Structure 1
Amino acid sequence: MITHIVLFKLKDGVDRDARQVTEAVELAREVGRHVPELVDWRTGWNTVDRDIAYDFAAIGVLADLVALQRYQENAFHRAAIEKWRLISDWVVADLADPD
């Protein structure tokens, strides 16, 4: 299994309540219903305000690296990425379960 973790940091001047942000959040929440390779999908706002904290997270579980590749190529996922690209910077980690 692969756990795919994405942490988003809103760009300076972008407010959490802005229309572009609410649209991006809605798309992120729907990714789990539109990407069949996802075994599990969670999204949400960070609940603790710290200087080093990111604002929003998406965490997906996929069967293997082939499923991860399909997820990355999925059209709905790509549309969500484009929304987030306009309003945030992000980091990604893909963790493989130990054998």
Structure 2
Amino acid sequence: MMQHVVMFRRLEHVAEDMHREAALVERMRNLEGEIDFIRAWRVSANELARPICWDYLLEASFDDAEAVERYLPHPAHQALIADLKTYFEWVACDYTR
């Protein structure tokens, strides 16, 4: 099983817009329903206001690295990325569990 973990935070130069942010996070949460080979999917919001913390965490599971490689260029994922990059920056880690 391959784990795909991504942390998101609002871009420094972008003004906070809670309505826009909520809509983007909802789209992140719903992506699982658009890609049938995702095995597990969870989007969580940070709950503590600490400088080291990022705003959101995405935890996903795939069968293997090949499935992650299929996910990354998937049209539904790419459409979401196009909108996310106007509001968030992110870092990712992929590992075998």
Would the TM-score normalized by the shorter structure come out above 0.5? Answer: yes
Query: Any conservation in 2 of the 1:3–1:60 contact (CA below 8 Å)?
Result: yes
Question: CA-to-partner distance for each residue in 1:2-57, whole Å, 9 max, x for gaps?
Answer: 110000011124325142x2221111011111111210000021111110100011
Gaps of 5+ in 1: none
Q: Could you tell me which amino acid in structure 1 is paired with residue 72 of structure 2? A: Q
TM-superposition CA deviations, 1:33-88 (whole Å, max 9, x none): 11112100000211111101000111100000111011112111111111110001
Q: Would the alpha carbon gap of residues 16 and 46 (structure 1) be closer, same or farther in structure 2, given more than 3 Å must change?
A: farther
| Distance in 2, Cα, partners of 1:14 & 1:28 | 20
* Separation (CA, whole Å) in 2 of partners of 1:5 and 1:31: 15
What's the RMSD between the two structures over aligned residues?
A: 1.3
| Structure 2 runs not aligned, ≥5 long | none
Q: Give me the whole-angstrom Cα distance separating, in 2, the residues matched to 1:40 and 1:15.
A: 29
Would you say how many aligned residue pairs link Structure 1 and Structure 2? 96
Query: 1:32 maps to which residue?
Result: 32
Q: 1:49 and 1:26, CA in 2 relative to 1: closer, same or farther beyond 3 A?
A: same
Instruction: Tell me the SS of whatever aligns to 1:53.
Output: coil
Deviation at 1:95, TM superposition (A): 1.1
What TM-score, normalized by structure 2, do the two folds share? 0.90
Report runs of 4+ in structure 1 exceeding 4 Å deviation.
none
- The answer for the alignment partner of 2:48 in structure 1 is 48
